[in-house]
Chains A and B, each alone.
Chain A
């Protein structure tokens, strides 16, 4: 990937600011230049707020998004508002918990918020499930880059839950790809034993 414009949108409080930071940190971990902007209007408290992340191998001149490679829409207003900006070969990823009329074009749907509630007892990690799925579907960045970014950006207390949510999203994303493309080339599987980085965190938390 040489250049990509990614927009994360939804209602204020759905954790898109944090998701944007994680995405930006991930891109940096993989050596890309990054520019992240965020809407600070009244819509930051509901409606359609957005975080834009531009990822590029070259210097980023114009810092705003124009044609989106990826749109994440976590609610209906943002799907309505930003759907038209997605490029023809780009795709939208929508939270079907809230979006029942997805935008035109390539769309992936998943119940991020509902799954977050069911699997983790809180809607708060819906953003990480969404990022995980986006990570799998785009294949832009390596898994390690994602994990390190999450560990850096999320408060230590919640790191494990966020990482698990990310893994869950990533797994489901790969399953979608598996159905679509017939293979998944990432050496990562749900049968894998507990990875070292997760062990470390668990030990650290036990020690406290």
Chain B
């Protein structure tokens, strides 16, 4: 038994991601190891061949993402794992997977950049790259774990969402979460739901690879099952062949957008703490969320109420929920391990009357609760 179902264990974040992938019945891992994500590749290399699954070390990250796209088209549940420098190289393949609507999971354990940066210390510098790194308008689903248990849960969720939305899903862990070991309780095997793409149920000659449906996601046939379809990064029609007809182009790009924007309720995942009766809110995601909670606790001991708003799914951004809870606040503190990325999203969705205050750190170390408390003391 590789995943210790229902047991308590001391587990590392990266290990939990690997176990989450195995729990999700991963068929193919292709990657190019890079710290701080290497343990994911290492652990999967130990287990996948024994399970009769495929594990390939590719020559680089472009090849890695291409390999899992190919694997997924042939019916494999596929994942790769990397860090900032590798994630940059994967952008081309990421766009291709968005356009061709191929379900894959990409784990980016973020480290301090730009370029090779600070090997290997923590950062949250890739959240905007995750959203806009690949060119053109495209859908993105990205989640940010804050603990080892979440590394497991969100990996499972990432596979499920990739299948349900026929799109790449990103897991943006950071070095702190990836390398942290915690005592966690694994869920029971029956508590974890594994979702798969429905098989097409139409006769072979009727099959359309990009058939318009109410959910904007069409059942996807896999290569080798008798169904015929064409795959290209060029804007394509329902069969997958290149097209420049206005109505077909608009239909394709509209579907790409709407399959995410019209099902936001399935994607949104936020954690709210003490938002009702506080005028100050800390808006934090990923490992920084834990500093925010600790800061909230410190301030509570001193008699000051502060709320914490945390998006677990960072893309699509929880516009409506954030606006609902933040518009009546006086100050929103946005701590981030970068020079200001998500803070602009918070500014975008909230009223001008709300004062948005950054707490930023880019030296590779975690923002301490005291730093947040100090900043709150200065502005309130």
Contacts and interface: CB of A to CB of B under 8 A. Distances in A.
Contacts of B176: 37, 63-64
A63 B290 contact: yes
A35 B148 CA distance: 10
A34 B120 contact: no
B interface, by DSSP: helix, strand, loop or mixed? mixed
A interface, by DSSP: helix, strand, loop or mixed? mixed
A28 B8 contact: yes
Contact of A37 (B10, B35, B179, B294): B179
A96 to B, nearest CB: 29
Given A61-B294, A62-B291, A62-B294, A37 B180 contact: yes
A63 B10 contact: no
Contact of A64 (B8, B10, B119, B366): B366
B368 interface: yes
A5 interface: no
A40 B175 contact: yes
Contact of A40 (B179, B181, B290, B291): B179
Interface string A36-71: 111011100000000000000000111110100000
Given A37-B176, A62-B368, A64-B366, A24 B181 contact: yes
Interface string B99-132: 0000000000000000000111100000000000
B121 A41 contact: yes
Interface of A: 21, 24-25, 28, 32-38, 40-42, 60-64, 66
Interface residues of B, number: 26
A32 B8 CA distance: 12
B36 interface: yes
Interface in B9-56: 10, 35-36
A3 to B, nearest CB: 12
A63 B287 contact: yes
Interface in B109-167: 118-121
B293 interface: yes
Contacts of B287: 63
Return the 5 tightest CB-CB contacts between A and B, nearest first. A36-B181, A61-B294, A62-B294, A40-B120, A61-B293
A38 B36 CA distance: 11
B269 interface: no
Q: Which of B35, B36, B180, B287 has the most CB of A within 10 A?
A: B180
Q: Which of B10, B35, B370 has the most CB of A within 10 A?
A: B10
A35 B368 contact: no
Interface string B152-195: 00000000000000000000000110011111000000000000
